[in-house]
């Protein structure tokens, strides 16, 4: 059996997750790709040689099934990245309560579920937990409940890191600035490319086992906020 590391990515169907899957495949990782959009996952799985697992991170059972599928296919899990998430318009009256509900559950509880489901396998491998936070999880964005969800993820990364201290598991918070992905309704000049964040992820993953890159905060060169 191959000893290439096994990397589970949620939110892998587009944007930052998909770009990172491509870089990780080129670096020899065996990939497990999770999101809700089966067609996009299948195309990326074919391209990267990965395993596509339809997953809604809002559902605990889906997270359990995702990790079980990874263990069944590859015999274990070396890294898990809770990356699935989305935003909302700023302004406390601008989004529907239903949109708020799904955003908070996906960005916060979904990330917690993914990590929880993966911890037993990661203890076996002395593996690596990654979470996608945001600049919005480091600065309060006015009128942004999205920002509040990412503050929760910032806290979660530290809570998990300390909880897992002594297990050999590493924890990394990836905090992007503006990145040109389907996260935004329209493309725009001056944002990062998804590959820019993918390189940060590969840097954190590629450190020797005694080095834990706790956080990587990456902004475009011109982003004041
Ligand atoms: O956006 P996008 P990004 N269960 O829309 C998936 C954070 N971030 O790559 O399920 C499972 O291309 C969705 O797939 P699907 C951001 O908050 C971004 O930019 O098929 N998966 C897709 O694969 C997020 O945490 C920026 O619709 C679910 C992926 O999530 C992460 O970066 C800045 C799901 C979203 O990909 C990746 O976002 C920043 C669910 N319930 C932080 N809901 C930025 N772009 O500027 C969604 O600071 N997905």
- Torsion sign, CA atoms 55, 59, 63, 68: negative
The pLDDT, as a whole number, for residue 189 is 83
Mean pLDDT of 57-77: 98
Distance CA 42, CA 111 (A): 23
Mean pLDDT of 19-39: 98
Ligand 1 neighbours by CB, cut-off 6 Å: 10-17, 35-37, 55-58, 83-86, 106, 110, 132, 134-136, 176, 178-179, 181-183
At residue 171, what are phi and psi to the nearest 5 degrees?
-135, 125
146 is catalytic: yes
Lowest-confidence range among 27-41, 62-76, 147-161, 181-195? 181-195
Looking at the predicted structure, is the pLDDT value of residue 187 above 90? Answer: no
Distance CA 4, CA 146 (A): 36
Which amino acid residue places its CA nearest to atom 4 of ligand 1? 56
The pLDDT, as a whole number, for residue 1 is 44
* Residue 70 pLDDT level (bands cut at 50, 70, 90): very high
Q: Which atom of ligand 1 is nearest to the CA of 178?
A: 46
Quick check: 9 and 25 in contact, CB under 8 A?
no
The model scores a pTM over 0.95:
yes
Mean pLDDT of 218-224: 90
Share of residues in the chain with pLDDT > 70 (%): 99
Question: Tokens 């964040």 label which residue?
Answer: 197
Looking at the predicted structure, is the pLDDT value of residue 87 above 80? Answer: yes
Distance CA 173, CA 131 (A): 5
Query: If you measure from the C-alpha of residue 84 to the centroid of ligand 1, how many angstroms do you get, rounded to a whole number?
Result: 5
* Residue 212 pLDDT level (bands cut at 50, 70, 90): very high
Query: If you measure from the C-alpha of residue 170 to the centroid of ligand 1, how many angstroms do you get, rounded to a whole number?
Result: 22
Distance CA 67, CA 57 (A): 12
Quick check: 89 and 143 in contact, CB under 8 A?
no
SS (H, E, C) the chain: CCCCCEEEEECCCCHHHHHHHHHHHHCCCEEEEEECCHHHHHHHHHHHCCEEEECCCCCHHHHHHHHHHHHHHHCCCCEEEECCCCCCCCCCCCCCHHHHHHHHHHHHHHHHHHHHHHHHHHHHHCCEEEEECCHHHCCCCCCCHHHHHHHHHHHHHHHHHHHCCCCCCEEEEEEECCECCCCCCCCCCCCECHHHHHHHHHHHHCCCCCCCCCEEEECCCCCCC
Average pLDDT in the chain: 96
Return the ∠ at Cα 29 (arms to 27 and 180), rounded to 5°: 70
Q: Which atom of ligand 1 is nearest to the CA of 86?
A: 17
The pLDDT, as a whole number, for residue 64 is 98
Mean pLDDT of 4-18: 98
Looking at the predicted structure, is the pLDDT value of residue 135 above 70? Answer: yes
Residue of 115, 122, 121 lying closest to 63 (CA atoms): 115
């Amino acid at each position: 059996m191959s000893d290439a590391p096994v990397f589970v990515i949620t939110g892998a169907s587009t944007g930052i997750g998909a770009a990172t899957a491509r870089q990780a495949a080129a670096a020899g990782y065996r990939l497990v790709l999770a999101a809700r959009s089966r067609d996009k996952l299948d195309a990326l799985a074919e391209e990267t040689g990965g395993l596509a697992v339809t997953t809604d991170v809002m559902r605990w059972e889906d997270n359990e099934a995702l990790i079980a599928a990874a263990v069944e296919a590859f015999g274990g899990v070396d890294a898990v990245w809770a990356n699935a998430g989305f935003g909302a318009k700023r302004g406390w009256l601008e989004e529907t309560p239903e949109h708020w509900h799904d955003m908070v559950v996906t960005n916060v509880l979904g990330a917690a579920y993914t990590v929880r489901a993966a911890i037993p396998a990661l203890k076996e491998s002395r593996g690596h937990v990654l979470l996608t936070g945001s600049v919005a999880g480091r600065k309060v964005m006015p009128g942004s409940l999205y920002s509040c969800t990412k503050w929760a993820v910032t806290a979660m990364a530290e809570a998990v890191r300390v909880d897992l201290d002594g297990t050999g598991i590493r924890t990394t918070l990836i905090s992007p600035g503006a990145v040109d992905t389907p996260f935004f309704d329209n493309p725009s000049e001056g944002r990062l490319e998804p590959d820019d964040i993918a390189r940060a992820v590969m840097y954190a993953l590629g450190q020797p086992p005694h080095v834990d890159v706790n956080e990587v905060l990456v902004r475009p060169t011109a982003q004041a906020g």
